[in-house]
Amino acid sequence: MSRPGKKRSRATLPDKEGSAAKFTKSKTQEEEESMIPAAKERNSKPVGSGTGKTTKETCPSAQGSKQAYSHWLMKSEPESRFEKGVDVKFGIEDLKAQPNQTACWDGVRNYQARNFMRDMKVGQEAFFYHSNCKEPGIAGIIKIVKEAYPDHTQFDKKDPHYDSSSTKENPKWSMVDVQFERMTKRFIPLSELKAQHQAHRASGGPLKDMTLFTRQRLSVQPLTDEEFEFVLSLEEKPS
DNA sequence: GCCAACGTTGGC
DNA sequence: GCCAACGTTGGC
């Protein structure tokens, strides 16, 4: 999925136009596209710690303010893989090597994942998850340093994620900028998260509804505060 | 490399 | 609007 940007010649540095977070949205189309009916089954505990909040859930269709999440998990591939001739490898070490240890998270081409990126706020933290590799799992923590703005790779014909259906006037895809914060104290493998998830399904523990398992293919996903804290607590355990 | 899960597309 | 075919994700 995403190929967080490496190459940006200019986009790299945090931008220039302030927070361009939302381009004009013409109401009619735009966020909508979540087309995934189930978007809300995780009813239980959201909470946003941060701010906002409000709105309880369920607003029928239109937009609805959903619950505010404040923690995320973002997947990226740490091993080389070529897509249309371009290596999409981008592990946490690649992020650390960027100027200012910051990169734009480009290449996301799934509406639900995109919409979650549009909900991200500066300062929020996310787990950097290594996918499609020898040892999948959580490698570190990153933070959002720039809110959603148009993903330039959608307009680049040579980019593996070029989208001929998108226009500059009404860009379809967004990205955020993220900065390396730290490695987790130890690598937290998927196998361990899965074992916890399974145990919690039986016991009602904090990972019982973790999106990593309930929507396995989603590359950008929210975590409740409780999920985030629990995963962090695993750092302290001897593996 | 296999293949299950699941999102997207397009015919009707 | 339904749904089968198809394509992609990503663990194993």
Query: With a cut of 50, which residues of chain A have pLDDT below it?
Result: 1, 7-31, 34, 36-64
Q: What is the pLDDT of residue A121?
A: 98
Residue nearest to nucleotide B7 (CA to C1'): A110
CB within 8 Å of A157: residues ≥ 6 apart: none
Question: Strand B: which nucleotides have any atom within 7 A of a protein Cβ?
Answer: 5-8
Q: What is the pLDDT of residue A66?
A: 58
Whether A215 CB is under 7 Å from strand B = yes
3-state secondary structure labels for all residues of A151-200? CHHHHCCCCCCCCCCCCCCCCCCEEEEEEEEEEEEEEEEHHHHHHHHHHH
Q: What is the pLDDT of residue A56?
A: 38
Q: What is the pLDDT of residue A196?
A: 97
Q: How far is the CA of A125 from the C1' of C4 (A)?
A: 41
Q: How many CB atoms lie within 10 A of CB A225?
A: 17
Q: What is the pLDDT of residue A238?
A: 76
Question: In this structure, are residues A160 and A107 in contact, taking their beta carbons and an 8 Å threshold?
Answer: yes
Give dist(CA A237, CA A124) in Å, integer. 24
Residue nearest to nucleotide C10 (CA to C1'): A132
Q: What is the pLDDT of residue A146?
A: 98
In chain A the domains, ranked by start, together with CATH numbers, are: 69-233 (3.10.590.10)
Whether A217 CB is under 7 Å from strand B = yes
Give dist(CA A167, CA A129) in Å, integer. 31
Question: Strand C: which nucleotides have any atom within 7 A of a protein Cβ?
Answer: 8-12
Alpha carbon A179 to chain centroid, angstroms: 13
Q: What is the pLDDT of residue A29?
A: 33
Q: How far is the CA of A229 from the C1' of B6 (A)?
A: 29
Give dist(CA A148, CA A165) in Å, integer. 20
